[in-house]
Structure 1
């Protein structure tokens, strides 16, 4: 039987560091709750706002698939494998930490474009899942998916699920997990995937989840034995991030 556990935006762990406002769906950093250390294969889902000219200085990661989805602004990525670039809304990005990688992430707004300095915060969601195998080569991949999102459908943007081998924007090294994104116009409806574990996060706007009720910006639903529940966008539309998972960490 399917079960749904709703977690409201206001109940998330929060980190405030002046340059950073971060809301954590699961235990993270100094915030630890043994009953909330992840869901399915998803260990981290951080909703971050980083001030202009600031960001995360160079730091290490190991044995983790890290997917970053930008909601507004631009995020500059640089890593020890020589990858660099700006992540922006509609660009899917994955970093495989593998046997070890160093990277930094900073707000792109300090850059000058056409002689004008941009001073907006960058708002993004970063999600971590465990890979299938430890100690793989570090890797990086990104791809523009903005055109596909205009369909209003759930778009597989980062996946290792076999059924997405041909249509996922970018691949992750985890055969039991995949991330979808949908940008829903007001009143538009979409069906969630059928899977043992589904994590639904309302990144922007508001939705109504079939059988559960309204979810606002920052709210999440952890659904077990999901059976294609439908979501309907509110009057201002919505952007949702949906993980389909066929295994869980034990």
Structure 2
């Protein structure tokens, strides 16, 4: 079963005066819908737009896997474990919060920053925090998220180009840019498809598209 959530239906958040605009796909912060708290292991998929110099002050996380994909601009990351990085388009950033970590994120450049940040529930809690960046991930290269039963796939499709959608209990497809056809639906930038028991599906680019596909084989387990 495929269900499409349009970009315009996301919950709007952020601080306009601080140069921060956020669009939430799931219940988050002041937005709560008991029927929309997760899909598979995914509990957040936030589209963030930061003006030059804008950012999020130091704040804590615990027992969550945070994956960030930059679409445009450059993201500066600093955390309480001593990591300091610049993340650009094509890089995958993973922050495994484990037993607890604090971090800041800001737009380090002089042009608007747009990124997608996704949170997943780990398979074990209270573990040692971890941090990594995979630079310039290639099209079609799977990124197996440690401590979870989840894999992220990046797909860049030219006009008419096709790609298989992973077979899995839960597949989440987020359109970063462009348009793609999937299971009879057109996905445009900001749209997402939630597919349960995905089998033998494919996506096709329409004029070019960049997609993030989460292949998940479990739901959250809290002990």
TM-score range, shorter chain: over 0.9
Deviation at 1:145, TM superposition (A): 2.8
Q: Distance in 1 between matches of 2:204 and 2:193?
A: 14
Match for residue 113 of structure 1?
Answer: none
3-state DSSP class of the match of 2:189?
coil
C-alpha distance in 1 between matches for 2:199 and 2:136 = 27
Offset of residue 92 of structure 1: 1.1
Which secondary structure state, in structure 2, belongs to the residue aligned with residue 81 of structure 1? Answer: coil
Alignment match of 1:9 (pick from 7, 10, 16): 7
Q: How many Å apart are 1:156 and its aligned residue?
A: 1.1
| d(CA) in 2 for partners of 1:23, 1:29 | 11
Match of 1:213 among 185, 191, 201: 185
Match 2:132 to one of 124, 141, 147: 141
Q: Point out where structure 2 has 5 or more consecutive residues left out of the alignment.
A: none
Contact 2:89-2:136 at 8 Å conserved across structures = no
Task: Give the aligned partner of residue 128 of structure 1.
Answer: 119
Give the equivalent residue in structure 2 for 1:166: none
Shift of 1:132: 1.1
**Residue matched to 2:206:** 234
The Cα shift of 1:188 comes to: 1.1
1:82 aligns to what? 82
Alpha-carbon offset, residue 104 of structure 1: 0.3
Does the residue aligned with 1:10 lie in a helix, a strand or coil? helix
7-16 or 75-84, larger mean C-alpha shift:
7-16
- Separation in 1 of the partners of 2:185 and 2:93? 31
Give the distance between the partners of 1:56 and 1:44, measured in 2 at CA.
Answer: 17
SS at structure 2 position matched to 1:98: coil
Task: Give a deviation string over 1:50-94, Cα, whole Å, max 9, x none.
Answer: 110110110000001100000010000000001111000011110
State the Cα distance separating 1:249 from its structure 2 match. 2.6
Is 1:246 aligned with 2:217?
Answer: yes
The match for 1:116 is none
Name the structure 1 match of 2:147. 173
- 1:185 equivalent in structure 2: 158
d(CA) in 1 for partners of 2:10, 2:74? 24
CA distance in 1, matches of 2:133, 2:14: 29
CA deviation digits over 1:87-128, x for unaligned, max 9?
A: 00011110010100010000011xxxxxxxxx2111000001
CA distance in 1, matches of 2:51, 2:169: 38
Unaligned runs of 5+ in 1: 110-118, 161-171
Runs in 1 of length 4+ with deviation above 3 angstroms?
none
Give the distance between the partners of 2:158 and 2:89, measured in 1 at CA: 17
The CA RMSD over aligned residues, in Å, is 1.1
Residue 155 of structure 1: CA displacement?
2.2
TM-score by length of 1: 0.85
**Contact persistence 2:70–2:116 (CA under 8 A):** yes
Shift of 1:213: 2.1
